[in-house]
Chains A and B, each alone.
Chain A
Amino acid sequence: MYPSYAGKILHIDLTNKNIIIKRLSKELIRNYIGGKGIAARLLYDEVKNEVSPLDPANKLIFATGPATGTIVPHKGYNVTFKSPLTGIYACSSSGGFFGDKMKRAGYDIIVISGRSENPVYLLIDDDDVQILKADHLWGKDSFETRSVIQSDHGSDVEVARIGTAGEKLVKFASIMNDYSRTAGRCGAGAVMGSKNLKAIAVRGTNPVEVERIDELVEFVNSLIIKFKEIPSSKVMSKYGPLSMVDPYHEFGLLVTRYWHEGLFKPFLKRELDVDTILSKVKVKDKACSSCPLNCSKICVSKEGKYAGTIVEGLDFEPFMSFGPLLYNDDLDTIMKCIEICDRMGMDAISTGNTIAFAMECYEKGIITSEEIGGLELDWGNSEVIVQLTESIGRREGFGDVLAEGVREASRKISRGAEKFAMHIKGLELPMYDPRAKSYGLAIAVADRGACHCQGEMHVYYARGVYKHRIISRDSLQEWPKIIKEIEDLGAVKDSFIFCRFFRDLYDEETISKLTPYLMGVEISIKELKLIGERIINLVRAFNVREGVSRKDDYPPDRFFIEPIPEGPAKGVILNKEEFETALDHYYELREWNHDGVPRNETLLKLGLHDVVNDSML
């Protein structure tokens, strides 16, 4: 087996309580590396289009990569599944130490299938794997669940678990691990809940080995020393992802009032920038395993009704989602909502989005206060935001409708609500403005729906520079090629698994240089790119099998018809014709047909012969 791998896949069928361990094949590793890649292959092979996301037949595939459990800065694991929110492919990743422990327990991959009759949790103690009763844990929130398991089995077990939102099948429920690291997007927690699986507790005592370890450690250390000196690393280390607030406010593209505005005036009035915000609440920096960046800022709310609330990640996405998106400038309730999401186990991005969608429907008179239990859903009504966040997690009252996500909720509400539901492929939008052209294209073509991480255009739009070259923000001409390049390399990074915040640490050359140490063979830059393309195409084929085509690769209409009303970005809007041309261009570069379907020769070139012959495609 290749050096840094544990070499095993743990299969757990919860219906029959079957536990099988299989060897991880060299072929899978050479073609897909690990993480996202290998999991995508398993999902394509094992979850066909007749499987509904909440059926026992759906699989939840936890995957580590060759960097997991080593000093090479990495992200712990990702989890792959068919999403109950979008109905298509989904992969969500998380940091912390769970992934490291999973690998040290001896498993690169854990595949969960079936459905237990009663609530259970898994206890994986190296070779000893048990399916245990979880009646005492069912109904407990995410923090309590971890505490109880750690007090029963030792604080050296790490626990991936769902909160109550996952139990109640909230469509965007998350899986939490460590204190509050989150595999947040696309509803992995609902799939886990549908299997009656409350938690996976892991103790791993085995070492992870690599080739020429002293040399690798020196190499990594030299990379880290350089990486720490880069200005973007210093900013990330100091402020975390929240640092994006200031540049986007300067662009006049800070997502405000559900993408109607680009300036959040209450912040401007109070002169609230990221430095002021964090100086009010930050108490400590925290990092995931092996990370020199410590993007996580432990924050404690100091004033207001919810003073004392602690959140591990006062991160850009949740902050925006409960703040400017809802026209809410009350830091205390923003933090409370993030804490509720962590406690109940819900994706903060989707939760804030569904509330914003409801506020817009309320404003437009599509829903009235009487219909929704007397709630007054005015923009910025921070008390109602907290209440609604909790009722979504509990699926109570109107929260039950919103717990379906904006696409399904808008169908249920109907009366024209559909056009106010901001999503791509069913996934609610991250907290950047798709009118920023390159970003708008990137989230439209991302494989799991509206995802900012894959094309990373929120970063490169802000930088306006790619590989030392200035690229125009105002034209889409050069971006499709760049997006493809970033996506291909990104699929490789998600397979190793490298956090996307390490974008300036790992270029293709560095990744290739790491392969002999981690994998025992050198994988050339050319081959890495091919692997990236293979993964992207395989996932696209999975989505095509689920009915995805060109029609699904657009940002919501709002961004084509409603310009930014005022501020530095006044008048900024997406142009349909330009977008269509860019989409054509992107498909051409991908060698997909006009409808966004991979051509047979493209698949063959990537060695995906079986996909060409897939009768369901």
Chain B
Amino acid sequence: MTEVFIISDLDKCTGCGICEFACSAKKEKKFNPLLSCIRLVKDEPLITMSLSCRLCEKPPCVAVCPTKALKKSENTGVIMVKEDRCIGCRWCLQACPFGGLGIHPTKKSVFVCDLCEGDPFCIKLCPKEALELMTQETMEEKARISTVKKLLQSISST
């Protein structure tokens, strides 16, 4: 099965945080960005974008987990958490270069984006269509097209 993951468009993202509200509402029935699997990142004034689990091919979170609580799904590629095994040691948080995991404040175990069974709620609610579900192929294609467009623009403007 082709793996899909969530991509946030740096130009389109306005930093409204609706994705965080959507995720925490759906998963935790509360509004709290700290409980959201997708997190808004800001480097003001110029940068706003959202980040969630990148579904790494070689996930460092899985590799470092001392209790084997984390596993990458062979089917979908999402990181699955065995809550009864997780001891909340935060090794995975430290290992993830994207800050893609969190520790649940009451369950005290790790939580991470599960792509809402292939239909992520954050994407549905993003008012700017800044979030997209992509495969490796669509992502590469998008990068090619945008580069070609930029080149053509610079040629036509000179």
**A residues within 8 Å of B by Cβ?**
69-71, 97, 104, 178-180, 205-210, 213-214, 217, 221, 224, 228, 283-292, 294, 296, 298, 310, 312
Q: How far is B109's CA from A286's CA once the two chains are assembled, in angstroms?
A: 34
Question: Which chain B positions have C-beta within 8 A of A228?
Answer: 127
- A288–B31 contact, CB under 8 A? no
- B18–A208 contact, CB under 8 A? no
Within 8 A of A (CB), among B57-108: 105
- B21–A71 contact, CB under 8 A? yes
CB distance from A4 to the nearest CB of B (A): 9
Within 8 A of A (CB), among B1-42: 11, 14-18, 21-22, 24-26, 28-32, 34-35
Q: Answer whether residue B50 sits at the interface, using C-beta atoms and an 8 A cutoff.
A: no
Bin chain B's interface residue count.
Answer: 20 to 34
CB distance from A587 to the nearest CB of B (A): 41
Question: Which chain B positions have C-beta within 8 A of A221?
Answer: 124-125
Contact of B127 among A214, A284, A292 (CB under 8 A): A292
- B15–A287 contact, CB under 8 A? yes
Question: Which chain A positions have C-beta within 8 A of B29?
Answer: 213-214
CB distance from B23 to the nearest CB of A (A): 10
Residue of chain A at shortest CB distance from B29: A213
Q: Answer whether residue B44 sits at the interface, using C-beta atoms and an 8 A cutoff.
A: yes
Q: How far is B46's CA from A169's CA once the two chains are assembled, in angstroms?
A: 31
Contact of B31 among A179, A208, A285, A286 (CB under 8 A): A208
Question: Which chain B positions have C-beta within 8 A of A206?
Answer: 32
Q: How far is B44's CA from A97's CA once the two chains are assembled, in angstroms?
A: 13
Q: Answer whether residue B48 sits at the interface, using C-beta atoms and an 8 A cutoff.
A: yes
Q: Answer whether residue B128 sits at the interface, using C-beta atoms and an 8 A cutoff.
A: yes
CB distance from A552 to the nearest CB of B (A): 39
- A285–B14 contact, CB under 8 A? yes
CB distance from A94 to the nearest CB of B (A): 15
Contact A69:B16 (CB < 8 A) given known A217-B25, A283-B46? no
- B31–A284 contact, CB under 8 A? no
Residue of chain A at shortest CB distance from B12: A285
- B32–A208 contact, CB under 8 A? yes
CB distance from B46 to the nearest CB of A (A): 6
Question: Which chain B positions have C-beta within 8 A of A288?
Answer: 16
- B16–A294 contact, CB under 8 A? yes
Q: How far is B123's CA from A351's CA once the two chains are assembled, in angstroms?
A: 42
Contact A179:B18 (CB < 8 A) given known A207-B31, A217-B25, A284-B11? no
- If A69-B31, A179-B45, A207-B35 are given as contacts, then 14 extra A-B residue pairs at C-beta distance below 8 Å, sorted by A number, are A71-B21, A179-B44, A205-B32, A206-B32, A207-B28, A214-B29, A217-B25, A285-B128, A286-B15, A286-B45, A288-B16, A290-B17, A292-B18, A298-B46
Contact A209:B11 (CB < 8 A) given known A217-B125, A284-B46? no
Cβ-closest 8 pairs across A and B: A292-B127, A207-B30, A207-B32, A71-B21, A287-B14, A287-B16, A294-B14, A179-B44
Residue of chain A at shortest CB distance from B34: A205
Q: How far is B21's CA from A289's CA once the two chains are assembled, in angstroms?
A: 10
Q: How far is B46's CA from A179's CA once the two chains are assembled, in angstroms?
A: 10
Contact of B45 among A287, A294, A298 (CB under 8 A): A298
- A312–B45 contact, CB under 8 A? yes
Q: How far is B125's CA from A73's CA once the two chains are assembled, in angstroms?
A: 13
CB distance from A311 to the nearest CB of B (A): 8
- B128–A209 contact, CB under 8 A? no
Q: How far is B44's CA from A332's CA once the two chains are assembled, in angstroms?
A: 21
How many A-B Cβ pairs are below 8 Å? 82
- B48–A286 contact, CB under 8 A? yes
Q: How far is B105's CA from A208's CA once the two chains are assembled, in angstroms?
A: 14
Contact of B105 among A104, A205, A283, A285 (CB under 8 A): A205
Jot down 15 A-B pairs with beta carbons below 8 A, ordered by A.
Answer: A180-B45, A213-B30, A213-B31, A214-B26, A217-B21, A217-B25, A217-B26, A221-B125, A286-B15, A286-B45, A289-B17, A290-B17, A292-B16, A292-B18, A292-B128
Question: Which chain A positions have C-beta within 8 A of B34?
Answer: 205
Q: How far is B127's CA from A291's CA once the two chains are assembled, in angstroms?
A: 9
Question: Which chain A positions have C-beta within 8 A of B24?
Answer: 207
CB distance from A535 to the nearest CB of B (A): 26
Q: How far is B44's CA from A296's CA once the two chains are assembled, in angstroms?
A: 13
Question: Which chain A positions have C-beta within 8 A of B28?
Answer: 207
Question: Which chain A positions have C-beta within 8 A of B32?
Answer: 104, 205-208
- B30–A209 contact, CB under 8 A? yes
Q: How far is B30's CA from A287's CA once the two chains are assembled, in angstroms?
A: 22
Q: How far is B14's CA from A283's CA once the two chains are assembled, in angstroms?
A: 12
- A97–B14 contact, CB under 8 A? no
Question: Which chain A positions have C-beta within 8 A of B35?
Answer: 207
Question: Which chain A positions have C-beta within 8 A of B46?
Answer: 283-284, 298, 310
- A217–B17 contact, CB under 8 A? no
- A210–B31 contact, CB under 8 A? yes
Question: Which chain B positions have C-beta within 8 A of A290?
Answer: 16-18, 21
- B18–A214 contact, CB under 8 A? no
Question: Which chain A positions have C-beta within 8 A of B125?
Answer: 71, 217, 221
Q: How far is B46's CA from A38's CA once the two chains are assembled, in angstroms?
A: 36
- A310–B45 contact, CB under 8 A? yes
Q: How far is B31's CA from A214's CA once the two chains are assembled, in angstroms?
A: 11
Q: How far is B158's CA from A47's CA once the two chains are assembled, in angstroms?
A: 65
Question: Which chain A positions have C-beta within 8 A of B44?
Answer: 178-179
- B14–A71 contact, CB under 8 A? no
Q: How far is B14's CA from A97's CA once the two chains are assembled, in angstroms?
A: 13
Residue of chain A at shortest CB distance from B124: A221
Question: Which chain B positions have C-beta within 8 A of A224?
Answer: 127
- B105–A70 contact, CB under 8 A? no
CB distance from A521 to the nearest CB of B (A): 19
Q: How far is B34's CA from A207's CA once the two chains are assembled, in angstroms?
A: 8
CB distance from A14 to the nearest CB of B (A): 29
CB distance from A298 to the nearest CB of B (A): 6
Q: How far is B105's CA from A289's CA once the two chains are assembled, in angstroms?
A: 23
Q: How far is B22's CA from A196's CA once the two chains are assembled, in angstroms?
A: 40
Residue of chain B at shortest CB distance from A155: B42
CB distance from A34 to the nearest CB of B (A): 16
Question: Which chain B positions have C-beta within 8 A of A286?
Answer: 14-15, 45, 48
CB distance from B24 to the nearest CB of A (A): 7
Question: Which chain B positions have C-beta within 8 A of A298?
Answer: 45-46
Question: Which chain B positions have C-beta within 8 A of A97?
Answer: 17
